[in-house]
Structure 1
Amino acid sequence: METTKVNAAFLCNYEVMQILQQLKDSTQKKHKREGSLATVTYETVHYLQDTDCKKQNPASIKKFLDGLKNLKLTKTEKLMMVNTPPRTELEIQLIAQESEERLSEEDVRKIIKLANECLPANDS
């Protein structure tokens, strides 16, 4: 197998979890696949279910991304915020390079508010 288009699309953790759950369900119904693929699929789904993506859905992700449209963030930074929703100013500084120059204090507060409203934390 070879990659035809590098970075053709980015997937958030929620999308990866959905794809792997479908793969896991389809392999359970059919004959067993290679043990290593089943193990990787199981372990990845198990890990993702303990992250914030467990409580996400396509509508909440879209609402969050729509709220970020007018901010000076790259696609990669937005993806990182979906995967690990920032709850503090420090987390935004770690995700967005040169955030002090690119984002106002109001922008930072808006991102935190959006993350808390649209992408609730996984309490488990």
Structure 2
Amino acid sequence: MEVISENSAMLSNFEVYGLLTDIQAGRGQNKPNKHQQQLATITYETIKYLETKPCKHQSQESIIEFMKELEPFNLTKAEKVQILNLCPTTAVEIQLIVEESEERLTEDQIYSLLEVITKYNPGEQEEAETDPARD
């Protein structure tokens, strides 16, 4: 993965995860050396954290399709990135992410949005199927 402009973009967790795994593997960027121990630790800890998040199960293709399906909801770029990163599962979570959601989204739109999120978040479905404690 390549960072196009270092100073001007909101990055999704998927992009950060890809960049950090590339750095850790020494692809594209320089792998942290013994003089950059803090960078190596931050890289490791952040990757470890992101591996527990939805970005672990996302792909560039699925994100493109997901963003297309979000278009009818008239969300801001920041709201779309937050929804992509957090994959909310309840109407309350949507309301916390979308500014002035009561005025901008109907109840039906909120539930339609949750259906889109579920469709593109296979990690949650896989965890629910494999984790008997969630039943």
Q: What TM-score do you get using the length of structure 2 for normalisation? A: 0.79
The answer as to 2:95 corresponding to 1:70 is no
**Cα distance in 2, alignment partners of residues 78 and 31 from structure 1:** 32
Residue pair 1:53, 1:83 contacting (<8 A) in 2 also: yes
State how many pairs are aligned: 119
Q: Displacement of 1:5 after TM fit?
A: 7.8
Deviations 1:25-50 (A, max 9, x none): 008x9682410010000000010001
Residue pair 2:12, 2:84 contacting (<8 A) in 1 also: yes
Q: 1:103 to 1:30 in 2, by over 3 A?
A: closer
**Cα distance in 2, alignment partners of residues 31 and 51 from structure 1:** 24
Q: Which has the higher helix share?
A: 2
Amino acid across the alignment from 1:97: E
Structure 1: 4+ residue segments shifted above 3 A = none
Question: 1:68 aligns to what SS in structure 2?
Answer: helix
**Cα distance in 1, alignment partners of residues 6 and 16 from structure 2:** 18
Residue pair 2:73, 2:109 contacting (<8 A) in 1 also: yes
Q: What is the aligned counterpart of 1:39 among 23, 41, 60?
A: 41
Amino acid across the alignment from 2:73: L
Unaligned runs of 5+ in 1: none
Bigger mean CA deviation after superposition, 90-99 or 113-122: 113-122
- The CA RMSD measured in Å over matched residues stands at 2.2
Q: Which has the higher contact order (CA 8 A, sep 6+)?
A: 1
Residue 81 (structure 1) aligns with: 83
Amino acid across the alignment from 2:58: Q
Q: What TM-score do you get using the length of structure 1 for normalisation? A: 0.86
